Structure 1
Amino acid sequence: MPRLLLLAPLRAQTGNGTTAQRIQDHLESAGHSCTLWDTYGCESPSAVAQLVSSGNFQGAFGIHLYKAGRLLQGIRIPFGIVFGGTDINEDIKCAEKVQVMEKVLDEARFAVSFTDAMKETASVYWPWARNKICVQSQGVVTSPNAFFNWKKFLQNAGIPQDHGSLRFFILICGLRRIKDPFYLVDAFTEWHREDPSVYLIIIGPAVDPVFAEEVKEKIKRVEGVLLLPEIPMEDLHAVVKKCFAVVNSSLSEGMSVAILEAMDLKVPVLARNIPGNAAIIKHKLTGLLYSSPQEFVQLSKNLIQDPSLREDIVTRAKEYVTKHHSWEWERKTYQNLALKLR
């Protein structure tokens, strides 16, 4: 079995980071030795080449066509690339980055796209690479902490003691601009003044420390919106199960694991209507898509007022994620791809 390097942006609780950990587990379960390495710790392709030489790696995976791909250029071992989301949705708007990503795709043995839509976008820019791009959706496994103390969690968050009739909406994201946690705050605050039973919980790490401070200052000045630090994954899944709905307000997404996990946990999702979210959510069937803060509030009210709509959505969402986001199938795909690096 070849010794593999897995190069990815590994900031805590970001999509690329959790994807990398999952792929590492898939590869190691097949007997590969797989070392995870953070792109933020590599300054240039020559630094990665030195790492490859000293670590005696025979093959590599990169997550993010630009951030990891540019560091794998010219490397003397075979590699494959996994699209990260912002590479195809955002970096592709920059001509200089497009040229770099083109060269990376040319050198890569294969590329992986989470959705058909991402593959089609990449194929518009690099039609010659279409046949080397395979589509593999994110796999999902959830494991809520059965011993999680929900009441203590609410107390620590400063929620009133009488919380039996409260409804919590949770936005799970690393605090950075692309996740746009400000998007719903003002509208939600206005709704909370009208209906004090609704709360928005924003939970996640300060990925961008400067921006995180802006978020903290904003939240201090509003009502009905709470900002909490990241918690262990099993605890987070337990919190999601207790919430009324999971919220996504991102400017751009590759494929949101938080959305898929909510579907698996049978918790409804209200997501901003962007391509990455629309690729996995069918409006009013497996979730709700909104295009403005005001529409978010109206759809949320509809969900509260119509329990049958909520039940239908979570039932169909669970069926969807079970059928299309199999963790076992994802494992087989990456294990087969690893064979192409020999």
Structure 2
Amino acid sequence: MRLLFLAVLRPHTGNAVTAGRLRDHLEAAGHMCVLRDAFDFESPSEIANLIVDENLEAALALHLYRGGRLLQGHGIPFGVIFGGTDLNEDANHEEKKEVMGKVLEEARFAVAFTEAMKNTAQVQWVDPVFTREVKDRVRRAAGVRLIQEMRQEDLHAVVKSCFALVNSSVSEGMSAAILEAMDLEVPVLARNIPGNSAVVEHGVTGLLFSNPQEFIQLAKRLVSDPALEKEIVTNGREYVRTHHSWQVERDTYQRLIRKLEI
């Protein structure tokens, strides 16, 4: 694989030594590693040109803010490695912290050199107490499995193989999972909260529940009533294609962007 590796490469610094060592690891595994100084690039567009010129397939960045932010939006997978400056300095600046959070959302993986760095990162960007609570509850729940993130194509294949999609969130803006399930012709059972009820009409495009008992009742009804399932699937698919059309969304944003040309 042809890899881009971004790091701060001032001579004789810990960053430069670490980057050189990691590059050796990658090349020893048969990869071609293009090591570049993050400070040589001012914008992601310059990285885009490099990716095309060098025919790069993936990327790695040492430091989320200094390097990781330059890798966003290029369509190639990338991973990031936390540096001390990320956690000790940049995380104390709200704008930089927000940028690093977005980098983490897009990265395929993140590496911390010590357990302390990992814990600091979790406090800054993930909620470790809530995460442990969820994992504990899943372990105790019969028939429930916790699955890590996966590619959209794989996720869609899993959803299509299921009888229904359940959204039990207590807070939603607009659930992409619900809309994707509707488009994939999979019935939706969702908690009756404003974000969900905005896209799910009870008994028409899906089923809304307010408590566990109601969920069980509606799930049993859906299982035993093929006509209801067919109606919900048909209406859900039509709702998505009418109100959340990919082409309409594209046209709308293109029209809005033209307003910025004035």
Structure 2 residue 255 is matched with structure 1 residue 336: yes
Secondary structure of 1:225's partner? coil
- The two structures, once aligned, show a CA RMSD in angstroms of 2.9
Q: Residue in 2 aligned with 1:43?
A: 93
Larger RCO (CA within 8 A; separation ≥ 6): 1
Equivalent residue for 2:239, pick from 300, 303, 320? 320
Q: Give the Cα–Cα distance (whole angstroms) in 2 for the partners of residues 255 and 270 of structure 1.
A: 15
Q: Give the Cα–Cα distance (whole angstroms) in 2 for the partners of residues 42 and 310 of structure 1.
A: 51
Secondary structure of 1:231's partner? coil
Q: Give the Cα–Cα distance (whole angstroms) in 1 for the partners of residues 257 and 44 of structure 2.
A: 9
Secondary structure of 2:145's partner? strand
Structure 2 residue 225 is matched with structure 1 residue 306: yes
Q: Give the Cα–Cα distance (whole angstroms) in 1 for the partners of residues 221 and 91 of structure 2.
A: 47
Q: Give the Cα–Cα distance (whole angstroms) in 2 for the partners of residues 42 and 261 of structure 1.
A: 37
Q: Which runs of 4+ in 1 moved over 3 A?
A: 206-210
Amino acid at match of 1:249: S
Instruction: Give identity over the alignment, percent.
Output: 58
Q: Give the Cα–Cα distance (whole angstroms) in 2 for the partners of residues 279 and 254 of structure 1.
A: 9
Q: Give the Cα–Cα distance (whole angstroms) in 2 for the partners of residues 271 and 218 of structure 1.
A: 20
Structure 2 residue 251 is matched with structure 1 residue 251: no
TM-score by length of 1: 0.41
Q: Quick check: which one's helix share is greater? A: 2
Which 5+ residue runs of structure 2 have no aligned equivalent?
1-42, 46-72, 75-89, 100-124
| Cα deviation digits, residues 263-317 of structure 1 (max 9, x gap) | 0000000001111111111111110000111100100000001111101110111
Q: Give the Cα–Cα distance (whole angstroms) in 2 for the partners of residues 42 and 233 of structure 1.
A: 33
The Cα of 1:207 is off from its aligned counterpart by 4.8
Change over 3 Å in CA distance of 1:334–1:4 after alignment to 2? farther
Q: Greater Rg, structure 1 or structure 2?
A: 2
Structure 2 residue 141 is matched with structure 1 residue 231: no
TM-score by length of 2: 0.52
Change over 3 Å in CA distance of 1:44–1:340 after alignment to 2? farther
Q: Give the Cα–Cα distance (whole angstroms) in 1 for the partners of residues 93 and 257 of structure 2.
A: 26
Q: Give the Cα–Cα distance (whole angstroms) in 2 for the partners of residues 223 and 309 of structure 1.
A: 28
Q: Residue in 2 aligned with 1:175?
A: none
Q: Give the Cα–Cα distance (whole angstroms) in 2 for the partners of residues 41 and 304 of structure 1.
A: 49
Instruction: Tell me the matched-pair count.
Output: 152
Secondary structure of 2:195's partner? helix
Q: Give the Cα–Cα distance (whole angstroms) in 2 for the partners of residues 44 and 241 of structure 1.
A: 40
Change over 3 Å in CA distance of 1:41–1:258 after alignment to 2? farther
Which 5+ residue runs of structure 1 have no aligned equivalent?
6-23, 26-39, 49-66, 69-205
Q: Residue in 1 aligned with 2:65?
A: none
Q: Residue in 2 aligned with 1:279?
A: 198
Q: Give the Cα–Cα distance (whole angstroms) in 2 for the partners of residues 272 and 334 of structure 1.
A: 30
